[in-house]
Amino acid sequence: MIKELNSYVALRKTYMSTLGNKKIELFDMGAGPSAEPTAEDNVQVASAMSNQELVDAGMKRMDETDQAIQRSKQVVEQTLEVGTQTAANLKGQTDQMGRVVNHLDTIQFSIKKASQLVKEIGRQVATDKCIMMFLFLIVCGVIAIIVVKIVNPNNKDIRDIPGLAPPAQSRKLLYLRNPEYMGR
């Protein structure tokens, strides 16, 4: 788009310089070293001329004016063409910018959706890791029990497995010490 915009700017500069040159032509039509005479000079020159010379000078001046008007019309037509081209290009660029905005809206919506999905996946991964940790602990416990059973296969009481049961109490129950309660 930048290249296209630069080309339009270059075209505009070209047309503006062309217009500037034509304006100079329109306004400099008798300027320079052979500048037009002032009003007093015109009166003196006109009094020295015959009627036919005056008519011819007037016709010449009218032709020059017609040519200047014709050049002005051409400049106006060229300006209208450039304006029409510029308007068409601006319309196309406006449409293109509208499409770009629509694409950006779509991308923004997609990014929001993707962000939500990433958060959801993150939660699932965290949940999965917790479950895996608990499964690992269970597997470690099962392996520990298997190792203890392999080391001591005749042990059937869990209290005899070191570290798995609380130590046996050294206190005895009261009814075992008192013979009266034994008969009951």
Spans of all domains in the chain: 2-104, 132-172
86: tokens are 């510029």
Q: Are 70 and 78 in contact (CB under 8 A)?
A: no
Mean pLDDT of the chain: 77
Most confident listed range (12-21, 46-55, 91-100): 91-100
> Alpha-carbon distance 74 to 22, whole Å?
10
Percentage of the chain lying above the pLDDT 70 cut:
65
4: tokens are 């296209």
Task: Specify the residue for token string 């910018």.
Answer: 97
3-state percent breakdown (helix, strand, coil) of the chain, nearest 5: 80, 0, 20
pLDDT score recorded for residue 43: 52
Percentage of the chain lying above the pLDDT 90 cut:
33
148 vs 121, higher pLDDT: 121
Nearest partner of 75 among 12, 18, 31, 24, judged by Cα: 18
pLDDT score recorded for residue 99: 93
